A = this chain, B = another copy of it.
């Protein structure tokens, strides 16, 4: 298939800072790559005609793709829905404005599934065009994986950052809940909707997060090398694991072995009952909230919605506040159990998805390994590096305690190197 040499954000910025690349050149590289590759991959809903290129700021010259669920004042914002065709918001979403203030170039809008939910879009997997790239951040993951752009934004309500990153063989980062601002996205379930980031590798996505936010999130290759012997890595043995594809189970075993070889303190850890029950509460919480926040869309544009979206909103409106509160109580208990679990372990490893990207575009795959962590608000990273028998990417998901984003990115970067050895 197509040549998929990815653009490393860290390498691009290093070249820029050394005077070997300037912002115009960096953006031109992306524009050329989009022109060549996007007709096949279909990752972009819109490409900026004359994108603003800044000479200043830590992200100067960095071409960022913005999932089309984020408002942009200067480009159409369609939320993956025909009901919003031609929609042009008055302002940028907060994360878009932040990216501009740090000097980034908003190169275009990447394809989202309808309202960032399950109905698939036209984007294909760059590794094999017959396979889904995953969803709902389909275009962002595919555009980075195809080497069109070094960075992109996404959102995750179930598994919409980690899963497409796994299917496309790139790094995806779902930060601790609310670390990145959600204002200006099309909400689906506000207590779950989380802004995430994509880049080629873990060090790239950590650098992106650090430069966007001004926070000390960079995977500390230079300043704080990981001492693996002090890091307790737990293979998370939830009941779902048995249902993962054999290739994924093998990849997880290899990941554990390579982590141990690299000196990490690797063990196994079971899933507390309260966390399994919290996972079970995810869909009631999501659907009740979708019934509230997409109720106006259903009333006004229901005839332009996919059947699965209209049905989910309708069903959500039928959930009683009492049932919602009961689900929220299960989530709260799950969070307490999660906090207790992270007294025993620093990093959990799980599959990022049940297996490699499914064949066909009828489904964006299954978020079963992601939705618990979205609900818990814990940071998660997809670490790429494994492949199935057909050469399709398999990602390992690393999860840490709420607020431990830097430690997670640090360890994930070290594990990514270990997986490659």
User: Which A residues fall within an 8 A CB radius of B?
Assistant: 73, 83-84, 87, 90-94, 96-98, 100-101, 178, 181-184, 187, 190-191, 213-215, 289, 292-293, 295-297, 299-300, 317, 320-321
Q: Considering the chains assembled together, what is the distance between the CA atoms of A97 and B187 in angstroms?
A: 15
Shortest C-beta distance, A400 to chain B (Å), equals 17
Contacting pair A295 B94 (CB below 8 A): yes
CB<8 Å pairs between A and B, sample of 16: A87-B90, A92-B296, A93-B296, A94-B293, A94-B295, A96-B296, A97-B296, A97-B299, A101-B295, A181-B190, A182-B190, A183-B187, A184-B293, A213-B321, A214-B321, A215-B321
B187 touches A73 (CB 8 A): no
Q: Is the CB of A73 within 8 A of B300?
A: yes
Contacts of A100 in B (CB 8 A): 299
7 smallest A-B Cβ distances: which pairs? Answer: A91-B296, A97-B296, A92-B296, A183-B293, A97-B295, A94-B293, A181-B292
Contact between A183 and B292, CB atoms less than 8 A apart: yes
Work out how many copies of this chain go into the complex: 2
Give bound CA distance, A184 to B320, whole Å.
22
A181 surroundings in chain B (CB, below 8 A): 190, 289, 292-293
Whether A296 pairs with B94 at a CB distance below 8 angstroms is: yes
List the B side residues contacting A190 at CB < 8 Å.
178, 181-183
Known: A73-B300, A300-B91. A295 touches B98 (CB 8 A): yes
- Chain B: which residue is nearest A71 at the CB level? B296
Measured in the bound complex, the distance between the Cα atoms of B187 and A213 in whole Å is 19
Kindly report which residue of chain B lies nearest to residue A93, judged by CB atoms. Answer: B296
A297 to B98, CA, bound (A): 12
Contact of A191 among B92, B96, B178 (CB under 8 A): B178
Q: How far is the CA of A181 from the CA of B317 in the complex (A)?
A: 13
Instruction: Compute how far the CA of A94 lies from the CA of B296 in the bound complex, rounded to whole angstroms.
Output: 7
- Interface residue from B83, B183, B292 paired with A94 (Cβ < 8 Å): B292
A187 to B94, CA, bound (A): 11
A266→B214 CA distance, assembly (Å): 49
- Nearest residue, chain B, Cβ from A79: B90
CB of A155, distance to nearest CB on chain B (Å): 14
A90 to B295, CA, bound (A): 13
* Known A97-B296, A97-B299, A183-B293; 6 more pairs at CB < 8 Å: A97-B295, A101-B299, A181-B190, A181-B293, A184-B296, A213-B321
A213 surroundings in chain B (CB, below 8 A): 321
B191:A91 contact, CB within 8 angstroms: no
Q: Which residues of B contact A321 (CB under 8 A)?
A: 213-215
In the complex, what distance in Å separates the CA atom of A297 from the CA atom of B89? 12
Distance, CA A69 to CA B416, complexed state (A): 46
